[in-house]
Amino acid sequence: MTPLALWRRQILTIVSLEWKKTLFARRGLWVFALAFLPALLIYLSALNLRNHRDELQRILLNNPTAAATTANIQIGMPFDRVSSILTGANLNFTTITRANRRTIIRYSDGVSSWDLIFVNGKLTDRTDRSLPALNDRIRQFAAIFQYFFLRLAIFFGCVGIFINLFRGEMLDQSLHHYLLAPVRRDVLLIGKYLSGLFSTILLFGSSTALQFFFLLYAYPGPESASYMATNGWSHFFNYLGVTALACVGYGSVFLASGIVLRNPLIPATIILFWEASNWFLPELLKKFSIIYYLQALCPVVAPISPDVPDAFKMLVTAAASIPTPLAILGILIISTAVLALAALSIRKLEINYSSD
């Protein structure tokens, strides 16, 4: 057998031994939760939106003048006055009291849905809770994908899975089984990396696909059909590709830190802060992060998170428009460089379980 054929066979063996361990270990269940929570949330939201749409249509059918009547509700009106207008318009509404601080009247008039907010018995604000347009939902999805899914879910999922591949076995005192096999250590590294990649792409990729599907599930009919006919499919494959590249990038970083450092938590924390603060770093420094390239590949620009303090918003530079091949190349170069460093390090790796 040629060395290349042997390495290929050994890598396949390692992947087949590892991927089940990675995916179906009890200690890895939280990664499943992390991956599929956004999909679950979007599904619940889609169900809610569909019900909401049905309700609006029913109200409009039964009470076509309700919207005109409720247009008389003005800021500053007392609670009793507003509730009598709504009762007069023959509309059902719910009252929500938030710890005696605020009282909210929630109702739908067949055209829109509203939250009327009362403080000290007076109407102070009204919030439109109507069915958002698909475009708004696509922008909302972009924000959740970039701020939660990429930066937190995939990030921590990769921390859990890739650090576990070497450091976890070190802590389990079972890594020596691999080191006592006639396998080159760099071949072992590639095998383990590919098994981690397979697991994470399977997990997070299927979650991305489900999220996208549920996003459109809320908009049956021509709205989603026209979206899919124009940008839909390209967005879908873009998101899938970004998910896979995130696993490639973060996976390589955390696999390496699991090999090089006894406590990979410290670099994980530093990388988390580095990636999180990427949006206001100078252009040159941005290039040394994974999220920089991933964001450039995302098909929709995400609105800046409302949690970002105003002072920081001024520092935000618009996401750079890097050509797609360059962005992909950027991630691949970072990952390859990191894996090369890890390969150098694993050659000198020693088994010293007592120190862990």
Of 27, 94, 321, 325, the residue at the interface with other proteins (CB under 8 A) is 27
Of 4, 61, 99, 314, the residue at the interface with other proteins (CB under 8 A) is 99
- Segment near other proteins (CB under 8 A); pick from 21-29, 68-76, 221-229, 280-288: 21-29
Query: Dihedral sign, CA of 193, 196, 202, 205?
Result: negative
Sequence length of the chain is 356
Stretch 171-230 residues interacting with other proteins (CB under 8 A): 171-174, 176-185
**6 scored as a contact of other proteins (CB under 8 A):** yes
**Residue 151 or residue 235: which is nearer to other proteins going by CB?**
151
Q: Coil, strand or helix: which one is 99? A: coil
**Residue 197 or residue 218: which is nearer to other proteins going by CB?**
218
**161 scored as a contact of other proteins (CB under 8 A):** no
Q: Exposure pattern of 278-311 as b/e (b: 16+ CB <10 Å)?
A: bbebeeeebeebbbbbbbbbbbbebeeeeeeeee
User: Which residues sit opposite 98 in a β-bridge?
Assistant: 102
- Segment near other proteins (CB under 8 A); pick from 86-94, 163-171, 318-326, 332-340: 163-171
**62 scored as a contact of other proteins (CB under 8 A):** no
Query: Closest distance between other proteins and the C-beta of residue 1, in Å?
Result: 6
Q: Coil, strand or helix: which one is 127? A: strand
**Residue 241 or residue 258: which is nearer to other proteins going by CB?**
258
Euclidean distance between CA atoms 242 and 34, whole angstroms:
17
| DSSP summary character for residue 112 | -
Of 23, 67, 134, 143, the residue at the interface with other proteins (CB under 8 A) is 143
Work out the burial of residue 162: count CB atoms within 10 Å of its CB; fewer than 13 is exposed, 13-18 middle, 19 or more buried.
buried
Q: Exposure pattern of 29-54 as b/e (b: 16+ CB <10 Å)?
A: eebeebbbebbeebbebbeebeebee
The residues that touch other proteins, with contacts defined as CB under 8 A, are 1, 6, 9-10, 13-14, 17, 21, 25, 27, 34, 37-38, 41-42, 44-45, 48, 98-99, 101, 129, 140, 143-144, 147-148, 151-153, 156, 159-160, 163, 167-169, 171-174, 176-185, 263-265, 268-269, 272, 305, 307, 347-348, 350-353
